[in-house]
């Protein structure tokens, strides 16, 4: 019979390590502790959970089968890597620094930043350069701006339909001034309409309920 002299109920002498086939608790449904210098480093919880008191340095984290992998903080799930190769977030995605942090896709990237005085929060969309191509922002929380950031692209919006938000007047402005107003079945122009027709330059003046031809000039 091999007799191991115990210095205490928790100490085994020797400097060559301990080689065993398994470690187990003496009682069921209790925690098992790994300690270093008297401080608990790893706890095997009775509920089959592993609890670390410090950092974990690993190269890979994987599931034993094709199942979801959940990452929790204080017992609350924050990130889930599901079996369909999708990343599910239970809250917001907060990037640490504005103006520099991008969310990148295979062919484009997006970012949020702050600039100007007073400060305006903007949103950049880039489809080929890191500096961004188009910038979206709202001014006074009412006006939506779309602005190109490079000279290689035009400030052109191509659409098939422009509609009003409900039964309201739809206005087309130039430099902040109404140029065309659409309301009901009516079209209102505050100034004149000029166009060319068979070599003639024609100016039409619109006044409320009547249309007058104020000038007819031949080229």
Among 177, 175, 176, 200, CA closest to 190: 177
Kindly state whether residue 188 falls inside one of the protein's structural domains: yes
138 pLDDT tier (thresholds 50, 70, 90): confident
Is the per-residue pLDDT at 11 higher than 90?
A: no
Retrieve residue 75's tokens: 């017992």
**Per the domain annotation, does 128 fall within a domain?**
yes
In a domain, 84, yes or no: yes
With bands split at pLDDT 50, 70 and 90, how would you rate the model's confidence at 3? Answer: low
Q: What's the structural domain count of the chain? A: 4
Inside any domain, residue 157: no
In a domain? residue 3: no
Domain range for residue 193? 170-218
In this structure, how many other beta carbons lie within 10 angstroms of the beta carbon of residue 126? 20
pLDDT of residue 55: 87
Compute CA distances 200 → 92, 103, 197, 213, 214, whole Å. Answer: 61, 54, 5, 13, 14
The pLDDT, as a whole number, for residue 206 is 53
Tokens of 126: 């880039």
Predicted TM-score (pTM) of this structure: 0.50
Please tell me the least confidently modeled range out of 49-53, 112-116, 127-131.
Answer: 127-131
Kindly state whether residue 159 falls inside one of the protein's structural domains: no
The CA distance from 189 to 148, in Å, is 29
In this predicted structure, what is the pLDDT of residue 115?
A: 77
| Rounded-to-integer distance, Cα 30 and Cα 107, Å | 53
Q: How do beta strands 200-207 and 192-197 pair? A: antiparallel
Q: Residues 52, 64: one domain?
A: no
Average pLDDT, the chain: 76
Q: Which residue has the higher pLDDT, 166 or 140?
A: 166
So what's the pLDDT on residue 9?
Answer: 56
pLDDT of 145 above 80: no
Say if 27 falls within a structural domain: yes
Domain shared by 112 and 72, yes or no = no
84 and 48 share one domain = no
Indicate the DSSP class of residue 4. Answer: P
User: Do 183 and 213 have their domain in common?
Assistant: yes
Neighbours of 132 (CB within 10 A): 20
Residue 109 banded pLDDT, cuts 50, 70, 90: confident
Instruction: Give the mean model confidence (pLDDT) for residues 148-163.
Output: 72
- The SS3 assignment for 33 reads strand
Give a yes or no: residue 11 inside a domain.
no
User: Looking at the structure, do residues 72 and 86 belong to the same domain, yes or no?
Assistant: yes
Question: Is residue 128's pLDDT more than 60?
Answer: yes
Are both 47 and 69 inside the same structural domain?
Answer: no
The closest of 202, 175, 173 to 190, measured between CA atoms, is 173
Is residue 180 located within the same domain as residue 211? yes
Among 46-50, 79-83, 195-199, 211-215, the range scoring the smallest mean pLDDT is 211-215
């Amino acid at each position: 019979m091999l007799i191991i002299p115990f210095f205490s109920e928790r100490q085994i002498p020797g400097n060559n390590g301990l080689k065993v086939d398994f470690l187990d608790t003496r009682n069921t449904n209790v925690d098992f502790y790994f300690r270093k210098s008297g401080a608990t480093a790893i706890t095997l919880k009775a509920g089959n959970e592993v609890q670390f008191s410090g950092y974990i340095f690993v190269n890979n984290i994987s599931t034993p089968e094709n199942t979801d992998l959940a990452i929790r903080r204080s017992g609350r799930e924050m990130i889930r890597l599901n079996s369909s190769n999708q990343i599910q977030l239970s809250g917001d995605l907060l990037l640490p620094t504005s103006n520099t942090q991008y969310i990148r896709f295979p062919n484009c990237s997006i970012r949020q930043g702050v600039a100007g005085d007073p400060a305006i929060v903007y949103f950049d969309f880039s489809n080929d350069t890191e500096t961004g191509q188009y910038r979206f922002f709202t001014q006074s929380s009412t006006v939506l701006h779309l602005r190109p950031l490079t000279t290689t692209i035009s400030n052109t919006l191509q659409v098939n339909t422009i509609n009003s938000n409900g039964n309201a007047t739809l206005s087309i402005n130039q430099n902040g001034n109404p140029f065309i107003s659409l309301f009901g079945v009516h079209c209102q122009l505050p100034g004149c309409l000029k166009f060319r027709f068979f070599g003639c330059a024609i100016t039409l003046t619109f006044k409320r309920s009547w249309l007058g031809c104020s000038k007819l000039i031949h080229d």
